[in-house]
Structure 1
Amino acid sequence: MSSFKANIQKLGRAMLLPVAAMPLAGLIMRLSADDMLNIPVIGAAGNAVFGNLDILFAIGVTIGFAKTKDKGIPALTGFLAIATLKKGLEIMNPAVSMGIFGGIISGLVAAWTYNRFKNQKLPMVFSYFAGEKFPLTMVMILQTITAVVFGFIWPIIQTGIDSFAKLLVDMGAFGVGIFMFLNRLLIPFGLHHVLNTYVYYDLGSYTSPSGEVFRGEMTRFINGDPQAGLFLSGFFVVMMFGIPAICLAIYRAAFKENKEMVKGIMGSGAATSFIANITEPVEFSFMFISPMLYVVHAFFAGLAGFVCYLFNIRIGFTFGACIVDYLINFRIATNAILILPIGLVFFALYYFTFYYLIKKRNIPTLGREVATEFGTETIEEEEKELTLASKNYEYMAKKLLDAFGGAGNIADAYSCNTRLRVEVLDSSVVNEQRIKQLGVSGIIKPTEKNYQVIVGLEVTYIMAEFDKLIENQG
């Protein structure tokens, strides 16, 4: 079970790699449209991304699971895996289209093939094809078999997936509400990406005037499907109004002597959500302190999706459900103006509910907690540097690595949008209290040897320094 959880975490992380290419692709596709700049050659770059999602996911998943620092050969293995599968399916059953699921399966097969055969020895005459090159041969053989198998069984699986999608769609507002509720609820476990992937990139089908077929709420909306966007519109209410309201409630509920500090942190959190669609720094500031508050938040998110569906609001995003996508996609959306009054209502709902619960139940949110003393080993000069606010990312990375037991205790380390994810060899030497002293938003331990440190947008810079330290000490 522990291994299963760890692999699910890796799968969620691997899916973020191809997603990184989508915000800009979506923006340029929208800006190059006929009703805006009308420059098709710019839009072609966006189509290159959204027209090859299966390939991107195959490469991303392979890189995520390949056990090596140099990801070049694994990436090529992932490409060969999806290319072989697609060509094989064309022969087996031309009607089969596995979409991103084909990419994910290909990535998993490619990663397993690479990890299993990367050190393969061959007779001297074939030595050129041995070692890291051997998986390139093996993956084509394995994926040919995969194509034969899925040529027979995928129509059955696809029927099941379509039934699930139809169930969500047939449930109408309730289906959208359930999706958004689960989307928020799964964030603490890092599994929301798995759920999002299906809805964003595989739910529903749309054939454009040019004859191209697009799947997924996000992809269909960007490519002009007037029916897409119902599953996405509620996120604008949450990101642009709900999260800022939570920030205001936490600030107002803070003790007087802490208000200035909380104002800066929560103000930044509200702006980040409104402008960049990044919510985890705010959500992790209270989800473990008060799971009740977080369930309320998830319920309100589901309610936002429910209400937006009832008002037939259809608007999508690629950069995120923030002011950027709202303004750019406003002209092709349906009833997008209603996001504003609905958002104001939810702002009030979020604010008064959170403020009341924090005060009534004396929840120790930011600015209300009992001060935690640094350990006796922390000297005064160190305390000045020992926070994210210092922007000394090299120092932060060094202290994090020390708290995890040094480079020799790191089995794997990577980052996503806001989290530093670390797998250790021996969890008994990890100093969790020391990590908390570094000014991070929180720590999640999904399995015995896996940690997720909630850092925020600065995680990219800390991860870069973290990698350097591991490489130098390794």
Structure 2
Amino acid sequence: MKAALNSLKKKLAQLGRSMLVPVTAMPVAGILSRIASDDMLNIPLLKTAGDIVFGNMDILFALGAVVAFAKAKDKVSPMVASLLSILVLKATFASLDDTINMGIFAGIVVGCFTAWIFNHSKEWNTPKIFDFFTGEKFVITLAPIFTVALGYALSYIWPPIQLLLDGFAIGIARLGAIGVFIFGFLNRLLIPVGLHHVFNSYIYFNLGSYTQPDGTVVTGEMTRFLAGDPTAGLFLSMFFVVMMFGLPGAALAMYKCAKKRKSEVKGLMTSSAITSFVTGITEPLEFSFMFVAPQLYFVHALYTGLAGAVCYLLHIRLGFSSGGNIIDMTLNWGLGSNVILMIPVGIVFFLLYFFTFRFLINKYDLKTLGREDDFIDSQEITEEEKDRDPFQQELRLHGQEDRREPWRSGQYRKHRQVYDPPARRNSRRFSDESGQDQADGRQGRGHAIGYKHSDHHRLRGAQRHVRDRADHLNHRFPCCLGGIIV
């Protein structure tokens, strides 16, 4: 059961990463659409180019899903098959029931379905007359054909699911500030497992619908806002508060709490805060404390939801194409409402993040950057272990002291083996307090004696050489007597 859950988690994480493909196309499309709108440059051709991306998000999701799950180095064939399959699926729905609207889920299903066909068909054997079509290219033939059957099955399966999702959207919208808080909280909380894109995609690209003046229907909070929907943007404004103000406050707190390497921490925190403010990319900052201090990350998720609730109550409406950053804020200021209120709200959240993070880091001694424990490669051996060391015993018998460097004397090499020459191993000088010979294969803490009595007959010829060599070294280098570290 645990293995099945881990496998499911891995697949969902793969699916989440696949959704980065369409997300990467959003910034340029959003900028083109925004700067070409009527209240800015008024260039219809550029606006059409941007709207094409938003109108074909299902195709982008199909390509992203097939890239994630197709098991091949060269994924051109499954990508072509996925493109053909999503077109076939849309045509199938149009002929069976034109009210079916799967949105981005159509792309996800088709992409996964095409990848499954590819992974199973690329090794199939066919008559030699069809060799050109088999192998990795076989999916281009098979996927569109099987997609017709898939579309027929989905025409019965999807309508109830669509009603359920519509109910979810209506329910979270009716919850008002609480619904926005839940969305913001889960948006951040799912990042460590890579599932936030799965959750975000429905809100961004499917929640609600808006008909543009030219008759084009767009869906999703992000696309509706950029298309000019006066009701969109309430689910997105929180990210400007967190990315432009909150996380830079957290970065300042972590720098102030650093105890060492302050210049290094300052550089890293400054660059991460600027990245978050200018581009809306928060991963460098979030991953700096996500795993070393999960308490801070949980607070960060709570504050994200709280920022959403505050913006909703103040009716701060602002959307983005790439993220909650200063660029999108500047470009989309005219499309939003009460945007000016975001500045005082942001300052409050900057202070809230700063003081909360600083308090928690100092209170619980959280190991954020600059507060890590010193890394010790291996613990020093105890005095008792030194007493049992044959090398140390040999030194004491000759009235010598260990003048070797610590790394050579074995103080930082607990798990190395110590070769005790057979001539000395048979001596009772190396017995412990109980009288048991340590050289008979017994393992002391930090030292493993490498020879047993059963090996004596194999070492007869080497005993005399080792003893003579040890005496020679003792004469020339008294500090080098004793066990040989191997």
- TM-score band, normalised by the shorter chain? 0.7 to 0.9
For residues 274 and 331 of structure 1, what CA distance do their matches in structure 2 show? 20
For residues 208 and 43 of structure 1, what CA distance do their matches in structure 2 show? 13
Map Cα deviations across residues 231-256 of structure 1 (whole Å, 9 max, x no partner).
0000100000000000000111112x
Residue of structure 2 in register with 1:296 after alignment = 299
Residue of structure 1 in register with 2:438 after alignment = none
SS of 2:210's partner is: strand
Aligned: 1:149 with 2:153: yes
Residue of structure 2 in register with 1:93 after alignment = 97
Residue of structure 2 in register with 1:412 after alignment = none
Residue of structure 1 in register with 2:309 after alignment = 306
For residues 36 and 207 of structure 1, what CA distance do their matches in structure 2 show? 21
Aligned partner letter, 1:342 = V
If the length of structure 2 is used for normalisation, what is the TM-score?
A: 0.75
1:373 Cα offset (Å): 4.8
For residues 74 and 342 of structure 2, what CA distance do their matches in structure 1 show? 46
1:266 Cα offset (Å): 0.5
For residues 126 and 251 of structure 1, what CA distance do their matches in structure 2 show? 65
Residue of structure 1 in register with 2:208 after alignment = 204
Residue of structure 1 in register with 2:129 after alignment = 125
SS of 2:332's partner is: helix
Residue of structure 1 in register with 2:268 after alignment = 265
For residues 158 and 21 of structure 1, what CA distance do their matches in structure 2 show? 26
1:375 Cα offset (Å): 8.7
Query: In the alignment, is the contact (CA less than 8 A) between 1:77 and 1:114 conserved in 2?
Result: no
Residue of structure 2 in register with 1:382 after alignment = none
Structure 1 segments of 4+ aligned residues over 6 angstroms from their partners: none
Aligned partner letter, 1:181 = F
Give the alignment partner of residue 279 of structure 2, picking from 276, 281, 297: 276
For residues 336 and 186 of structure 1, what CA distance do their matches in structure 2 show? 28
Residue of structure 2 in register with 1:169 after alignment = 173
1:374 Cα offset (Å): 6.5
Query: In the alignment, is the contact (CA less than 8 A) between 1:81 and 1:109 conserved in 2?
Result: no
For residues 167 and 76 of structure 1, what CA distance do their matches in structure 2 show? 38
Greater Cα offset, 284-293 or 184-193: 284-293
Map Cα deviations across residues 28-75 of structure 1 (whole Å, 9 max, x no partner).
110111111111111222112111000111111111111111111111
Distance of aligned partners of 1:208 and 1:375 in 2 relative to their CA distance in 1, 3 Å threshold: farther
1:165 Cα offset (Å): 0.7
For residues 22 and 85 of structure 1, what CA distance do their matches in structure 2 show? 24
1:5-16 alignment runs, 5 A limit: 5-16=9-20
1:68-83 alignment runs, 5 A limit: 68-83=72-87
1:334-349 alignment runs, 5 A limit: 334-349=337-352
Aligned partner letter, 1:265 = L
1:184-199 alignment runs, 5 A limit: 184-199=188-203
Residue of structure 2 in register with 1:19 after alignment = 23
For residues 135 and 105 of structure 1, what CA distance do their matches in structure 2 show? 16
For residues 226 and 250 of structure 2, what CA distance do their matches in structure 1 show? 30
For residues 285 and 129 of structure 1, what CA distance do their matches in structure 2 show? 49
SS of 2:298's partner is: helix
SS of 1:289's partner is: coil
Residue of structure 2 in register with 1:248 after alignment = 252
For residues 281 and 372 of structure 1, what CA distance do their matches in structure 2 show? 23
Aligned: 1:326 with 2:291: no
Distance of aligned partners of 1:261 and 1:210 in 2 relative to their CA distance in 1, 3 Å threshold: same
For residues 191 and 134 of structure 2, what CA distance do their matches in structure 1 show? 42
For residues 122 and 369 of structure 2, what CA distance do their matches in structure 1 show? 49
Aligned partner letter, 1:262 = V
1:139 Cα offset (Å): 0.9
Map Cα deviations across residues 406-434 of structure 1 (whole Å, 9 max, x no partner).
xxxxxxxxxxxxxxxxxxxxxxxxxxxxx
Residue of structure 2 in register with 1:315 after alignment = 318
1:124 Cα offset (Å): 2.5
1:17 Cα offset (Å): 1.1
Residue of structure 1 in register with 2:163 after alignment = 159
SS of 1:206's partner is: strand
Aligned: 1:363 with 2:361: no
For residues 115 and 377 of structure 2, what CA distance do their matches in structure 1 show? 43
For residues 261 and 134 of structure 2, what CA distance do their matches in structure 1 show? 62
For residues 224 and 85 of structure 2, what CA distance do their matches in structure 1 show? 26
Residue of structure 1 in register with 2:112 after alignment = 108
Residue of structure 2 in register with 1:354 after alignment = 357
1:141 Cα offset (Å): 2.0
1:371 Cα offset (Å): 2.5
For residues 9 and 375 of structure 1, what CA distance do their matches in structure 2 show? 36
For residues 286 and 67 of structure 2, what CA distance do their matches in structure 1 show? 29
Max Rg structure:
2
Map Cα deviations across residues 118-157 of structure 1 (whole Å, 9 max, x no partner).
2222223333322222212211221111111111221111
For residues 326 and 372 of structure 1, what CA distance do their matches in structure 2 show? 43
For residues 194 and 326 of structure 1, what CA distance do their matches in structure 2 show? 25
1:175 Cα offset (Å): 0.3
Point out where structure 2 has 5 or more consecutive residues left out of the alignment: 380-486
SS of 1:214's partner is: strand
For residues 19 and 191 of structure 2, what CA distance do their matches in structure 1 show? 15
Map Cα deviations across residues 219-242 of structure 1 (whole Å, 9 max, x no partner).
111111111101000010000000
Point out where structure 1 has 5 or more consecutive residues left out of the alignment: 377-474
For residues 309 and 106 of structure 1, what CA distance do their matches in structure 2 show? 36
For residues 374 and 137 of structure 1, what CA distance do their matches in structure 2 show? 57
Aligned: 1:38 with 2:42: yes
For residues 378 and 326 of structure 2, what CA distance do their matches in structure 1 show? 43
For residues 82 and 33 of structure 1, what CA distance do their matches in structure 2 show? 30
